[in-house]
Structure 1
């Protein structure tokens, strides 16, 4: 964590150990930097104070590892590396990007042999669910019970991607699909980064949307040039590590850029570039039912301005997520300024946020991937 007043005239004197007495969310290296930063901090201080009071709600997960993955990592008594190592999934396959060790791995790297869960079949959804969804899933507990997965399984660390898509469709009112989208659902997914190393986890959407063909356009500047236009058909669930599991008798989980006679339930299409630059090409084939932008950082990047204008003009439901409530507050303000209207979907906690706290965040406020969502 850096001093909140870094760059304010003088160099920082050391680690930021002096926390704001009122909000407790930011820290400073010295009293002088705290004083210099007050002109900026005073507007956010009260807001952050209220957010800090909801810390227990942010850390509330049903897993047996919840305290380890939240408080202990946040207070540096545990790390994401040690958390993954204890479960035998450190620096392997889809788990590679869940700690800083995998940060330098390029998104162009991918190998089907490394797409599995690296877990036993009892701990992961490597096959069809035992029963179809009979009611709306509203929590990780609901999902784990439906999928018959024990609460000590870490799969939620990766499944927050497809479950957030599922939840976004519920928030946007697409849960009960209308007649024209009964068989197909088109989603534009903006700004993928680490997901590019975890694409096979999106096969879980087959279970979450039974009988529906999902076509997802993943659009963003992080997609490597050599993967622009790549089409991925997710035919089966990601495999467990057991050699005799029934999941091994199924066909390959992923068909990379190859058209097969079997119709995929989930199709991913990669598009390099900004959404507002690529939309015309993408929309020639179909218009989206939903736009979703995970961990968007709307207030942090000016490139969002033309994209928000485009979403406003095409009048499609759009759901944004971010790591903390404060980032959503800032993003919501930017969006409302551009659109001239209040949010259609107010800021709300995502029940399917990733249950591993972000290490070394800019605030003492706990941050989680896909933590809060809001939309227009």
Structure 2
């Protein structure tokens, strides 16, 4: 099952799209700020690139126009960004920087890429800046396992916050939308019942970017899928060359800032299924490059239950086309 999600709703005004005419003989002259007047789904750096791309774009412009009319509906995807946790931003009463600054997490650890003044994901040395801490007190973050197992599927952020006993003003949704999007995609794909029957869940995660600085948040999948070993292959050009082929095991939850919290004890922090006693865990494996180039090698170990692309922006990134073709015909 393949799911494509665009998790950039809160960032559309903060970052430019890739020029849809990129790589057509001449270099881009700047940011892609010139959108197609009809569909608004693709952008260009110049008039010349827009003209050169038209012969390809005209075939899909009408379809994209219809999709863009549903943008408000698409923005209601339940586990992208929490309105409760970002209320001041959504109502334009403050900036992302001020939101983070008032909570003491501006430019810190996993939050480093969460505003426009922070380091860009492309410029980061992930080995140096990767963090396993929320930089928040334990009352505001899920630094330990859940006190009880879910009895029904989560439908929105409010239900998640209540389950994890965290107040709605906590900013954790800004980072947890990565694992919660996986959780929701499992539901959409009709795989929820499967997770109670298998011991290993295999996911191909395409196009990771700033998630590479926030890997510790994927530890929350232990609480969402108790008793299941979650194996995630992260594939994309943003993977640093020195991490290509690397494996990373996550047995703990991201830590809080309180020194006396038992989340610092690995023996107490390992997640176990309350029914079977089996240990949950998350294994990440990194692959540098495009999915269509690496697919054959990756599936030698096992086929995925789910292929997901949280940062896809497929309509505006021509580099995704070969990947789509490989998914359709594989």
TM-score band, normalised by shorter chain: 0.7 to 0.9
Query: Larger RCO: Structure 1 or Structure 2 (Cα < 8 Å, ≥ 6 residues apart)?
Result: 2
* Structure 1 contact 234–253 (Cα < 8 Å) conserved: no
Q: Which residue of 1 aligns with 2:261?
A: 245
The answer on 1:166 being equivalent to 2:183 is yes
Give 5+ residue unaligned stretches, structure 2. Answer: 1-12, 16-32, 42-57, 271-277
Cα pair distance change 1:273/1:185, threshold 3 Å: same
Q: CA deviation at 1:304?
A: 1.7
Describe how 1:143-158 pairs up with structure 2 within 5 A. Answer: 143-158=160-175
When the two structures are superposed, what TM-score results if normalisation uses the length of structure 1? 0.64
Of structures 1 and 2, the larger Rg is shown by 1
- CA-to-aligned-CA distance 1:219-252 (integer Å, 9 cap, x gap): 0011110111111000100000001111012269
CA distance in 1, matches of 2:91, 2:77: 11
Out of 131, 151, 154, the position equivalent to 1:137 is: 154
Gaps of 5+ in 1: 3-15, 26-39, 255-261, 315-376
- Do 1:233 and 1:264's aligned partners in 2 also have CA atoms closer than 8 Å? no
Question: Which digits, 9 at most, give the CA deviation of each residue in 1:192-226, with x for residues without a partner?
Answer: 00100000000000000000001000000111101
Alignment pair present for 1:235 and 2:244: no
Task: Render the CA deviation track for 1:36-65: whole Å, top value 9, x for unaligned.
Answer: xxxx9x969975884477699689987555
The alignment status of 1:210 with 2:258, answered yes or no, reads no
8 Å CA contact 1:121, 1:240 repeated in 2: yes
Aligned residue for 2:329, secondary structure, equals helix
Shift in Å at residue 89 of structure 1?
0.6
C-alpha root-mean-square deviation of aligned residues, in Å?
3.7
In structure 2, the residue matched to 1:70 is 90
Q: What are the superposed Cα offsets for residues 144-198 of structure 1, whole Å, 9 maximum, x if unpaired?
A: 111111111110110000000000010001111178x611110000000010000
Partner of 1:269: helix, strand, or coil? strand
Aligned residues: 273
Give the Å deviation of 1:297.
Answer: 1.3
Q: Is the 8 A contact 1:161 1:202 kept in 2?
A: yes
SS of match in other structure, 1:98: coil
**Following the alignment from structure 2 to structure 1, what is the Cα–Cα distance between the partners of residues 255 and 205?**
25
- C-alpha displacement at 1:79, in angstroms? 1.4
Contact 1:107 1:196 in 2 (8 A): no
Contact 2:245–2:285, Cα closer than 8 Å, also in 1: yes
Task: Tell me what 2:100 maps to.
Answer: 84
Query: CA 1:132–1:68 in 2, change beyond 3 Å: closer, same or farther?
Result: same
1:301 has 2:314 as partner:
no
**Secondary structure class of the residue paired with 2:307:** strand
Is the counterpart of residue 176 in structure 1 residue 193 in structure 2? yes
Partner Cα separation in structure 1 for residue 169 and residue 249 of structure 2: 30
Per-residue deviation, residues 117-159 of structure 1 (Å, max 9, x unmatched): 0111010000010101111011101111111111111101100
Q: Offset of 1:24 from its aligned partner?
A: 12
Please report how far the alpha carbon of residue 301 of structure 1 lies from its aligned counterpart in structure 2 after TM superposition.
Answer: 2.1
Which residue in the other structure is 1:354 paired with? none
